[in-house]
Amino acid sequence: MQLFQRDYWRGVQVEAQSRVSHGEEKRGRILDRNGQPMAMDREIHRLAIDPDHLSRCFEVKGKNQIQPKKLAVEEILEKLAAAGLQFGSDRQLLNEKVSADIQHNLEVRADGEGKRKRYLRLGYLAPGAKREALDQCLSEISRELGKSVFPKVETELVRYYPFGTTGSILIGQTVRGGSEGLWG
């Protein structure tokens, strides 16, 4: 007996038998006897930009140059930095990368050939900075541009150990060899 579309049905079977679920459970804080936190959950807010939507706010000026209609890329990055965003790479390099992606998207739109570049991760909200300030900055930039160029801010819960590896070994999260230890 031969099974028709064997690979497809094997994939369906594997998908039906295994599921991955990501929960947003908080694990609580672990404190030492002096009340100092040894482990806690921390929210990380990541921000990306869509160069394709942003390119609609620019126009081509001469060969290999773009002209902003309202806000330049550097001004956008400056406002985001003031709101507490820590960039994943050097700000100047990020400026050049976003500008190059905008120019590429403008060329693709003019020629009708090629694939547009989308969703470039900018960075994350600095510890201690307020999420409300970032949200206000994003809405202000979108209002000035007349277009939303930022996808939804990704929020992720991560486990944070203020004392680093020493603290995680002490409470049993990792063992000295670096492998996972007890889960609590």
Average pLDDT (27-38) is 84
DSSP letter at 153 equals: P
State how far the Cα of 46 lies from the Cα of 44, in Å rounded to an integer. Answer: 6
Q: Percent of the chain, pLDDT > 70?
A: 86
Average pLDDT (3-13) is 76
What integer pLDDT is reported at residue 75 of this predicted model? 93
pLDDT in tens, 116-137: 888 899 999 998 899 999 999 9
Please state the domain extents for the chain: 43-158
State how far the Cα of 122 lies from the Cα of 124, in Å rounded to an integer. Answer: 7
Average pLDDT (65-93) is 91
Q: Is the pLDDT of residue 99 over 50?
A: yes
Q: pTM, whole model, 2 decimals? A: 0.69
